[in-house]
Amino acid sequence: QVQLQESGPGLVKPSGTLSLTCAVSGGSISSRNWWTWVRQPPGKGLEWIGEIYHSGNTNYNPSLKSRVTMSVDNSKNQFSLKLSSVTAADTAVYYCARSVYITIFGVVMDVWGQGTTVTVSS
C-alpha cells in the first residue's frame, strides 16, 4: 500500500523559506492522483495548502498562493513544498497526503504521511 513520509528542517527563521519533501513509497507518483499538502497549527484545525499532479499542474489555496511553490520529481517519486517569507503564524505540523478523485463524489485525501513539525523562530 502507498505510504508517504515528510522530511525537512524542523526550524526555519522568520522571513526565510520553509522547504519540505514528501517521499512516496508503495506506489507511483505518476498515478492518476493529486499530491497534497495540509498543515495544522498547534491546537488548531486543518488547512489545505495545495496540491500537485505528476504533470506539474498545481492548485493552491488563495490565502497562501503568493508564497507557495509545489514541485514534483517523478524520477525520485517525491513531491515538495516551498513556503516563502514565513512568520510565526506558519508554525504548524505539515502533512502530505494523496488525493484521489472518487467518481461523482469529488477529491478526498485517503492516505496521509505522519506529519512533520515546523517551527518558525529566530
Partner 1 sequence: DIQMTQSPSSVSASVGDRVTITCRASQGIRSWLAWYQQKPGKAPKFLIYGASSLQSGVPSRFSGSGSGTDFTLTISSLQPEDFATYYCQQTNSLPRTFGQGTKVEIK
Measured from the CB of residue 117, what is the shortest distance to partner 1 in angstroms? 10
Residues that bind partner 1 (CB under 8 A): 38, 45-48, 51, 59-63, 95, 102, 104-115
| In the block, residue with C-alpha cell 463524489 | 105
Nearer of residues 18 and 60 to partner 1, judged by Cβ: 60
Measured from the CB of residue 114, what is the shortest distance to partner 1 in angstroms? 6
Torsion angle in degrees (nearest 10) through CA of 2, 58, 114, 6 = 100
Classify the C-alpha dihedral 117-88-56-103 as positive or negative. Answer: positive
Measured from the CB of residue 101, what is the shortest distance to partner 1 in angstroms? 9
Nearer of residues 13 and 65 to partner 1, judged by Cβ: 65
Residues forming a β-bridge with 9: none
Nearer of residues 104 and 122 to partner 1, judged by Cβ: 104
d(CA 120, CA 38): 17
